[in-house]
A and B are shown apart, each in its own frame.
Chain A
Amino acid sequence: MVVTTASRPGTIAAPGERTGATGVVLRDVRHAFGRHQALDGIDLAAGTGVFGLLGPNGAGKTTLLRALATVLKPSHGSIRLLGRDPGNNDEMRQIRRRLGYLPQQFGYYPNFTVFEFIEYFALLKEMPPGQVKAAVALAIGRVGLEDRARTRMKSLSGGMLRRVGIAQAIVNEPELLLLDEPTVGLDPEQRVLFRGLLREMGARSTVFVCTHLVEDVAIACNEVAIMEAGKIVFRGNPVDLTDLGAVPGEGGGDSAIERGYGSVLTTVRGRNR
């Protein structure tokens, strides 16, 4: 477990056991929107497993996820995804075939059925045409939308739309799965099922989950990082974070992991004053 900002602010002290893994490797990644430094020297290496990204609004989580999704090219630093360079067109295409991405703002075509919508992205992901329909059916089953497969998107509830978003992300069995706030709108039963799906995907893929729900991280993630002001200020496993919040009353929050999360932010903000 590491709480950083000591010798080099925003740089994790050690990438942990996953150093050298081919999943994701970032070196000194920086990006600014005008004067706002959204990413401020991110060093990160992550291999197979579920990696939770926590942090307050505006901490840079979504920007980091967009950089990993090859949507955003950082202004500084290097990124390697699945052992490939996204700056190279051919390699970026290879990465994208192996990528699954659920953005925070999930848009859809209202007149498509659930099946048609997921099928569209399976086609765009250049899956072999003969495998597309079975892969779509499998993805629909994995998010529990079997009874809605022929329903038009405009008829779905917010939680169901989110599950369609997850299904389009996993339809190609991605090696790198990036999920931004995936559990928003899901009911408790669906959240439990989703955590199971996350663990299943994390057994063979690199999965990044960006969330505000600390308990999701505690249950489903192997590792967790906390971001604040564009920097990774904590990296460890959920148990480390829980240990930080072992004493009630410190850091705020009902559960130990919430208190640990609050404690990290309080410590870092105190140092920065």
Chain B
Amino acid sequence: MDTNSHIPFDPGVTEEEMHSLDVDLDHVWLGVTAALWSTSASRIERIAGSLLRSPALARALVTTPSLILSWILASAAVFLIGAVVAGATETPVVPLLAPAIAGVAVAFAYGAGADPTYEISRTMPTSARMILLLRVSVVFVTNAILGSIATLIVPGAANVTLLWLLPMVAISLLGLAVAVVFHSATIGGGLALAVWGAIILAAQYPDEQLAAAVSQSALQTLGPVYLLITALSLGVTLWMSGDGAKRRELAGWL
């Protein structure tokens, strides 16, 4: 039986007219599947994309290794414990912890050993330096906010907030610079911890005050050193993270 005999023929659209519509069904199908498979970007990613005018950098931001929830929760927990201890012992533990935590987090924001897709990312036209600086800035701000909240909840400690910001900037950027030069977040984070530990020990030597490193007098003495570390570390990071030939020459030499 001819099943088509029951289907009324509609002469309204000819075969030639169908071809003239020039509908690429494969393309339409791709669009449909893409719409089905894709997920909408998170609010943070959408806001970052608008601000940065780059969906690539916005996605790079949300893939920051030291911005994943477990990392932030761990940092917040350490700050909370520090705040509790500070409240009980009247020792400003939070200002002593802040540069160390931020230093490690910043070193692990991007690079070999930290970002699982680092090798592929290095072959992308999107600037590696932009990704690095963007992630580092956000990680630093996140840690600064956590540290500030922890300091503020310790009675009478609010006035020391500013005393750890400068060391935190210097130690974080030092850790970052070392991580970039040696392609190792572990070395960068480890050195940041070691340098900050050395500063704390050295500052407490004269009067055996654990918190001497974040005192007003210590900041006046060490302030220029922190500024020098900040400037040098930033310069090294910018130079090494670019795509210039000098950076590669130095990397090869090292």
Q: Which residues of B contact A70 (CB under 8 A)?
A: 122-123
Q: A107 with B116: in contact, given A89-B244, A133-B35, A136-B34 (CB under 8 Å)?
A: yes
Task: Tell me, yes or no, whether A250 is within 8 Å of chain B by CB.
Answer: no
Q: Which residues of B contact A121 (CB under 8 A)?
A: 117, 120, 124
Total cross-chain contacts (CB, 8 A): 103
Partner of B55, one of A102, A107, A115, A123: A123
Interface string of B215-252 (1 = CB under 8 A from A): 00000000000000000000000000001110010011
Tell me the complex Cα distance, A120–B57, Å: 9
- Which of A15-23, A124-132, A218-226, A258-266 binds B? A124-132
- Closest-CB distance, A106 to chain B (whole angstroms): 8
- Closest-CB distance, B123 to chain A (whole angstroms): 5
Q: A113 with B39: in contact, given A105-B119, A121-B120 (CB under 8 Å)?
A: yes
- Which of B25-33, B81-89, B171-179 binds A? B25-33
Task: Tell me, yes or no, whether B63 is within 8 Å of chain A by CB.
Answer: yes
- Closest-CB distance, A173 to chain B (whole angstroms): 13
B123 pairs with A138, CB closer than 8 A? no
The prevalent SS among residues of B at the interface is helix
Interface range on chain A (Cβ under 8 Å from partner): 35 or more
- Closest-CB distance, B234 to chain A (whole angstroms): 21
Partner of A109, one of B117, B122, B248: B117
Q: Which residues of B contact A129 (CB under 8 A)?
A: 55
From 90 to 117 in chain A, residues with beta carbon under 8 angstroms from any chain B beta carbon are 92-94, 96-97, 99, 101-103, 105-109, 112-113, 115-116
A73 pairs with B125, CB closer than 8 A? no
List chain A positions with a Cβ less than 8 A from chain B: 69-71, 73, 75, 87, 89, 92-94, 96-97, 99, 101-103, 105-109, 112-113, 115-116, 119-121, 123-126, 129, 133-134, 136-138, 140-141, 146, 149-150, 168
Q: A102-B120, A133-B34, A136-B34 are in contact. List 13 more A-B contacts (CB 8 A).
A: A70-B122, A71-B122, A73-B251, A73-B252, A94-B125, A107-B116, A109-B117, A115-B39, A120-B63, A123-B55, A133-B38, A136-B37, A137-B33
List chain B positions with a Cβ less than 8 A from chain A: 27, 30-31, 33-39, 55-56, 59-60, 63, 115-126, 243-245, 248, 251-252
